[in-house]
Amino acid sequence: MLIFKGRQMKDSIGINHEVKQQLLTFLLGFVSENKSEKFSRYIENRTRQVTIVLEDIFQPHNASAVLRSCDCFGIQDVHIIENKNKYEVNPDVALGSSKWLSLYRYNKNENNTVSCLESLKKKGYRIIATTPDNNDFTPDNLPLDPKFALVFGTEMKGLSGEALALADEFIRVPMVGFTESLNISVSAAILLFTLTERIMKSTIDWQVHEEERTDILLSWARHVVKKSSLLEKEFFKKMEDPGRSM
């Protein structure tokens, strides 16, 4: 399910692209010039070439730090598996990053790990398990194409057996000290920094496409425009009745 900080608008489902663009233009009229310029700049670096999956993360500090890293490095989608632990965001750590991301929660099935990863596979994602126990790839040599999902497990136990079984490949952060693993938020930041830098320098078509851009920009505008839901209602009423004043 797609969540934008608890706000479930039309999310442009059932609206054609032309109308979406008109709605976006309308809402941007209520956005400051400075914020609108940031929207235009930051959307250029958004990607779905890589996505993040968090399996049963139970420490709000780490969970929120991962969201912050995703926003910083241009990752748009985060998939959250809630088998035993409910995903909680610490606002002091996330610093509002969650409102710029598309968060997908999986908590309806008996085994949400399987449903999440199988869904991503159907969408063409390779499943890359993050683990210090496998030498498949490092962030420096992981193949960047086709697109892939980095899966992170709990701080204490790592990834579940189901996640490991569904993995197509494995990745680790090379370490030379006695400590066997990194904090999940640190590991995510290191992987995302290296991988997104490589992706953006590559010839891969990694940027979000036009219609995706419009949907993302709409979600951003909805978060910064006061009473955006009321304004949208007026927009659609105006479309149905062109003579109506806004």
Q: How far apart are CA 93 and CA 103, in angstroms?
A: 17
In-domain check, residue 2: no
Does residue 145 sit in the same domain as residue 86? yes
The b/e string for 182-216 (b: 16+ C-beta within 10 A; e otherwise) is bebbebbbebbebbbeebeeeeeebbbeeeebbbb
Does residue 168 sit in the same domain as residue 71? yes
How many distinct structural domains can be found in the chain?
A: 2
Q: Are strands 126-130 and 102-106 parallel, antiparallel or unpaired?
A: unpaired
In-domain check, residue 12: no
The position carrying tokens 């194409």 is 145
Question: Which residue type, as a one-letter code, is found at position 156?
Answer: M
pLDDT of residue 176: 86
Q: Are strands 2-3 and 102-106 parallel, antiparallel or unpaired?
A: antiparallel
Residues 6+ positions from 85 with CB-CB distance below 8 Å: 56, 57, 58, 154
pLDDT of residue 245: 62
160's tokens: 């579940």
* Domain range for 166: 45-200
User: CB atoms < 10 A from the CB of 243, how many?
Assistant: 5
In-domain check, residue 5: no
Q: Examine the pLDDT at 125 and tell me if it is beyond 50.
A: yes
Q: Which of 8-12, 33-37, 95-99 has the highest mean pLDDT?
A: 33-37
Give 10's pLDDT tier (boundaries 50, 70, 90). Answer: very low
Does residue 115 sit in the same domain as residue 61? yes
Q: How far apart are CA 194 and CA 217, in angstroms?
A: 26
In-domain check, residue 21: no
Helices (H) and strands (E) in the chain, counts: 9, 7
Does residue 190 sit in the same domain as residue 120? yes
pLDDT of residue 92: 59
Does residue 222 sit in the same domain as residue 123? no
In-domain check, residue 33: no
> Mind listing the pLDDT tens digit for each residue in 208-228?
999 999 999 999 999 999 999
pLDDT of residue 3: 40
